[in-house]
Amino acid sequence: MKALDFGYHSLRSGRRVCEPAPPESPQHLHTAVDVPHCVWKLLLVEDDADSADALTSLFGLHGIETSWTIDGSSALQALDSIQRLGERGPDFALVDVNLPHTDAVELCHELREHPIGCPVVMISAASEQILIESAERGGAIAALRKPFSAEHLLEILEHYAAGQPFNRPSAARR
């Protein structure tokens, strides 16, 4: 298996927001999931509503603010709207390889090259070979086979944000 190191070095500075713990949250209270106080913003491009709903809920438990679009056209429209409104763009995009009416490799390039573009992690339940090839051709920072854990995605993003290569197998499942 190939290792992930597609040549990216760091997220744009200032894109990730870190907030102190709310003063009204007692330190001794814990939930089943330890939610980080640093918030990642994610653009999820996924055509399956059930998968998108499950991923959005899972990411929310891990402090990831998620915006969902169903195809490449709506993903690019979302970035255009964010730019027009002057809002902070997504820190990264999570793109399904098998989207209807969308070339996921081309979308990966378009998301990265958009004025408020972002790095891309490609996901798929498709074969590992197709996923890895698509991620490499699209310039994605990583490729994850479905199902995957939010912790694995966060580990990839933390390495990427720190400018460290991520040397796990490209399409690893966890």
Write the pLDDT tens digit of every residue in 14-47: 333 334 334 443 333 333 344 444 578 999 999 9
* The model's pTM: 0.75
Residue 67 DSSP one-character state: E
The range of the structural domain enclosing residue 105 comes to: 39-161
74 located within any domain: yes
Distances (CA, A) of 24 to 21, 29, 37, 65: 8, 11, 14, 22
89 located within any domain: yes
23 located within any domain: no
140 located within any domain: yes
30 located within any domain: no
User: Could you tell me the CATH number of the domain that includes residue 154?
Assistant: 3.40.50.2300
10 located within any domain: no
The domain tally of the chain equals 1
pLDDT at 167: 53
